[in-house]
Amino acid sequence: MTESSDLRMTSIPLNAGARHMPALGFGTLIPDLAITITATREALEAGFRHFDCAERYRNEREVGDALRAGLAAAGIAREDIFITTKLWNTNHRPERVAPAFEASLDRLGLKYLDLYLIHTPFAFQPGDEQDPRDQNGNVLYDRGVTLLETWSAMESLADRGRCRAIGLSDITLRELLPIYESARIKPAVIQVEAHPYLPETELLEFCEEKDIAFLAFAPLGHGIRPGPLEDPVILAIAARVGKTPAQVLLAWAVQRGTALLTTPTTAARARENLNISTLPEDAFDAINRIQTRQRFNEVVKTGSPGFIPQGR
Ligand SMILES: NC(=O)c1ccc[n+]([C@@H]2O[C@H](COP(=O)([O-])OP(=O)(O)OC[C@H]3O[C@@H](n4cnc5c(N)ncnc54)[C@H](OP(=O)(O)O)[C@@H]3O)[C@@H](O)[C@H]2O)c1
């Protein structure tokens, strides 16, 4: 368990050399392009130094523009921020990996990436259509490539030095094991959904043992209500420690040794989500004892992204 009382500056060492990843990351899965620009800029101004992007989010250009303008205005160097993007499912064929990487770099306006992830372990039919489907609406998967072949192409990218670390997203322990065992370059990071309703304890323990950084997405349960933000245990701890439910959930995530991605879309929430500090041990333990189990995003099962609509 992390012991710092101010968790905001926590960073996680990566197995790829002497690099670190800021534990508090800002996610750019924001459908509206104008909000993408303002939210990214406000996150940088609030103090976020870790930004998570994806080819699939179709807004790398806007994120890149917002970051460039924000860095210049604040006099922050590129080296002082950590930027990730992800290879989409339609680009798993090895010959498509480097062009997809270059296209992302070009849209982001960057010379290098801190981290490049395989977005999901599912290969879709290669091509420009990000969501290829048959006449019945079924996803068209690509059976002509294995995840290990895609991983080898990622290793070649890492060899060339323009992405400093590589990893996987939306991966289960069962899928991660064979990659970990065969990889020449071990995954530095995995990114999966995690919060008190989906703690992924077994996967986290494996990552701790193998020196893989665990990066939690949807740490607030994607803001879905009912969900962790309204859980009675979280509400009671928030009232007791004088923090908001979001701050309690984010503190718990960092305290258990994970990095996280959150997506505040206002400046006030960006500041709120950075202002987190260590929870008392009994509060931390009480969150670990929450029994509710709920996954909010099915991408790990199909490769098709999307949070599951919830009724109130
Ligand atoms: N690898 C994958 O397949 C995958 C899948 C999903 C997400 N991700 C990544 O993870 C990032 C984070 O995921 P997420 O969007 O689910 O994160 P999240 O932070 O759990 O949820 C974001 C939602 O929480 C709300 N929120 C943010 N701060 C809040 C606060 N202080 N109090 C109350 N509500 C708050 C936001 O509302 P407002 O908009 O009103 O601020 C938004 O609706 C994404 O942007 C993306 O980069 C990856």
pLDDT in tens, 57-73: 999 999 999 999 999 99
Nearest atom in ligand 1 to 217's CA: 10
Predicted model pTM: 0.97
For ligand 1, the distance from its centroid to the CA atom of residue 136, given in whole angstroms, is: 31
Stated as kind and residue range, the H or E segment containing 190 is strand 189-193
Q: Is 197 a known active-site residue?
A: no
Residue 308: the pLDDT is 80
Q: Ligand 1 pocket, 156 CB below 6 A?
A: no
C-alpha to C-alpha distance for 20 and 82, rounded to whole angstroms: 9
Q: Residue 7: exposed, middle, or buried by beta-carbon count in 10 A (0-12, 13-18, 19+)?
A: buried
Pocket test for ligand 1, best of 28, 262, 272 (most atoms within 8 A of CB): 262
Q: Ligand 1 pocket, 297 CB below 6 A?
A: yes
Atom 34 of ligand 1: nearest residue by CA position: 223
Tens digit of pLDDT for each residue in 195-234?
999 999 999 999 999 999 999 999 999 999 999 999 999 9
Question: Do β-strands 166-169 and 20-22 pair in parallel, antiparallel, or remain unpaired?
Answer: unpaired
Catalytic residue of the set 57, 116, 180, 197: 57
Tens digit of pLDDT for each residue in 153-164?
999 999 999 899
pLDDT mean over 170-182: 97
What rounded mean pLDDT belongs to the chain?
Answer: 95
Tokens of 74: 């604040």
Q: Which domains does the chain have, with CATH numbers?
A: 11-225+256-276 (3.20.20.100)
pLDDT mean over 166-179: 97
